[in-house]
Amino acid sequence: MISFAPLELDAVAFLEQRTGLDFSAADFEQPKWLCVTARRPDGALQGVLACEFKQWFNVHLTMAIDDIFCVSPKVLFAIFRTLFSRARRITALVPTDNERSLKQIHLLGFQYEGFMRLGFDGQRDALLFGMLANECRWLSRARRRILIAGGHHG
């Protein structure tokens, strides 16, 4: 089950536990947030994505995913299409010691952009990743499938 609603308390706790970040002051009802929650049929959380539009051109992505396959390519298309309809780039910071997050961010197609001392939470070093719309393979694959299937005329 995928939800694009503001985060519920258990989803906020899931995100905080897995990232080490404090979201207690975040108001996920605000339009500056795009939130996605993935749950198993029994309601257990599999993944949480919280995207904050920091500037008109830049959205910061924070994710905690226990099962990378909890989100389908169709859902990824919807997520990235929505993000790139409002921003020109997506930024993700990953702690240097978080191997799992590094693997996931690469699987999503983000490009390595640099190193930030104490850049993750003011206490941990971070690797900076970014993505532009023209680099997003989730958008281009979906477009190709639509064209191949004859779903686009024009």
Mapped onto helix, strand or coil, the DSSP state of residue 3 is strand
Residue 7 lies in a domain: yes
pTM score, two decimals?
Answer: 0.84
Average pLDDT over residues 95-101: 90
Task: Tell me phi and psi for residue 106, to 5 degrees.
Answer: -70, -40
In a domain, 153, yes or no: no
The CATH number assigned to the domain holding 49 equals: 3.40.630.30
Reduced to 3 states (helix: H, G, I; strand: E, B; else coil), residue 95 is strand
- 144 falls in which pLDDT band (50, 70, 90)? very low
Residue 125 belongs to some domain of the structure: yes
Contacts 24+ apart (CB under 8 A), 49-55: 49/79, 50/7, 50/15, 50/23, 50/26, 51/83, 51/90, 52/26, 53/86, 53/87, 54/91
Task: Phi first, then psi: give them for residue 17, nearest 5 degrees.
Answer: -65, -40
Residue 16, in any domain of the structure: yes
How many whole angstroms separate alpha carbon 67 and alpha carbon 85?
27
- pLDDT tens readout for residues 40-68: 999 999 999 999 999 999 999 999 999 87
Domain hosting residue 50, numbered range: 2-148
Q: Do the domain assignments include residue 154?
A: no
104-141 pLDDT, tens digit each: 899 899 999 999 999 888 899 999 999 999 999 999 75
Calculate ∠ Cα 54-95-80, nearest 5°: 45
Which one has a higher pLDDT value, 142 or 89?
A: 89
Query: How many domains is the chain partitioned into structurally?
Result: 1
User: Which position has the token pair 């961010």?
Assistant: 105
Report if residue 28 sits inside a domain: yes
